[in-house]
Structure 1
Amino acid sequence: MIPSSPVAAGIAAVVVLLGLLVIVRRIRGPSADARESKRAHDAAQERDPPVSIGETYEFGVTELTDHHSGTEVAVGKVEGFVVFTEDIPNGISKGDVIRAKVLSFNEGRTSADATFVTKA
């Protein structure tokens, strides 16, 4: 059945295009970034964390983000291992080097939560 009005034809075209986009997305699979993130996550689960609870580490802040705690945290890496640092003072920004004390690991031990000690 061919739509008789331009509006109906436009709606039909949009529905067909959306359907094609869904099909193409399923065929292509995840993006290269998503695949790399999954690979890094899987590798992190297979190794022992390079940090220990109670120890202090120095690292660069790679980003500031909202953590599940609802507060802004500094994110950085120690030997490729992600550390979320809470209790950061105002003025800390991406690129700063900080020291943080590791408090706990996440459930899969692929990242750690820490508390800010000082700016390096």
Structure 2
Amino acid sequence: MEYVWILGGVAVVAIALGWIGYLWRWRSAEARESKQAHEAAQERAPPVELGETYEFGITEFTDHHSGDRVAVGKVEGFVLFTGDVPDSTDEGDVIRAKVLSFNEGRTSADATFVEQV
């Protein structure tokens, strides 16, 4: 009867190790894809221009290092961090923002809120 418990324990450990291996490979593939997307973004010219206004949906909010609430959105896959967004805006709202500056590597830009659409 003891061998049944031992075999059961071995089976549980084998399943757990298999699951851990699967998750590790999945996370490695995800990290590889993220790195490739970042490198591709560094190689292409930004699809936005300084001083121009763009319309996009807010995908999320984040806190700027200054403590300000910043809206995050994308224009043609290019990330814009937009400040001065009214507290009444929510994720999914469409806004217009003016591009102020590019961030290091020109893979994203800072913008300022113009209006809610």
Alignment partner, residue 110 of structure 1: 107
**Aligned pair count?**
98
TM-score, scaled relative to structure 1: 0.72
What are the ranges of 5 or more consecutive residues in structure 1 without an aligned counterpart? 1-19
2:101 is paired with a residue whose SS is strand
Alignment partner, residue 74 of structure 2: 77
1:31 CA drift (Å): 3.7
Give, in whole Å, the separation in 1 of the partners of 2:58 and 2:29: 24
The structure that is helix-richer by fraction is 2
Query: Mapping of 1:1-120 within 5 angstroms?
Result: 28=25, 30-120=27-117
1:49 CA drift (Å): 0.2
Distance 1:32 1:70, change over 3 A: farther
Give, in whole Å, the separation in 2 of the partners of 1:74 and 1:39: 25
Give, in whole Å, the separation in 2 of the partners of 1:106 and 1:74: 15
Give, in whole Å, the separation in 1 of the partners of 2:89 and 2:29: 31
What are the ranges of 5 or more consecutive residues in structure 2 without an aligned counterpart? 1-16
What's the CA shift string for 1:7-62, capped at 9, x where partnerless?
xxxxxxxxxxxxx9xxx7xx749544333222211111000000000000000000
TM-score, scaled relative to structure 2: 0.74
Give, in whole Å, the separation in 1 of the partners of 2:81 and 2:56: 11
Give, in whole Å, the separation in 1 of the partners of 2:114 and 2:29: 36
| CA-atom RMSD in angstroms | 2.2
Percent of paired sites with the same residue? 74
Distance 1:69 1:31, change over 3 A: farther
